[in-house]
Structure 1
């Protein structure tokens, strides 16, 4: 196997290890809330950016587009989560005959 394939396999195995760590932390430490999972998720984003996308070797324009993509992802996920978080169930009166 070539060096590129070995690097991709090692990065993928690191991502699976981080996924297992996130699931284990969720079940082992439920008091952490979203903070512990967010730290591991940020590590997964870093591994994806520097492992799969090879941002180390790219120029400023690629870094700018990657940062813009992350910004829009945060905006879209934030706006998408606003609806279920702010939805209120109002009680209704049911007319019984």
Structure 2
């Protein structure tokens, strides 16, 4: 396994944890909230799925696209106060994806 693929696998696993943390928070909040605040929680649901897809992009050899998307989605998660740990992990997964894109084969 090359360094690029190993870094992509690490980014996938970190992004998977980040997306699942945000998804679990959103699903729990939807179950406990009223209909009016449910729309706000749907944003967390969509953001969690988007982080999962961004980490999948990194693993599918679209390193820089998935990395930038992961960083942006992590910042959005932090700004919207969805899940602090999930947002930080999404940013870390994006940075690892960008590092994987910069690795040159030897």
Q: Which structure is richer in relative contact order (CA contacts within 8 A, separation 6 or more)?
A: 2
**TM-score, normalised via structure 1 length:** 0.44
Higher helix share: 2
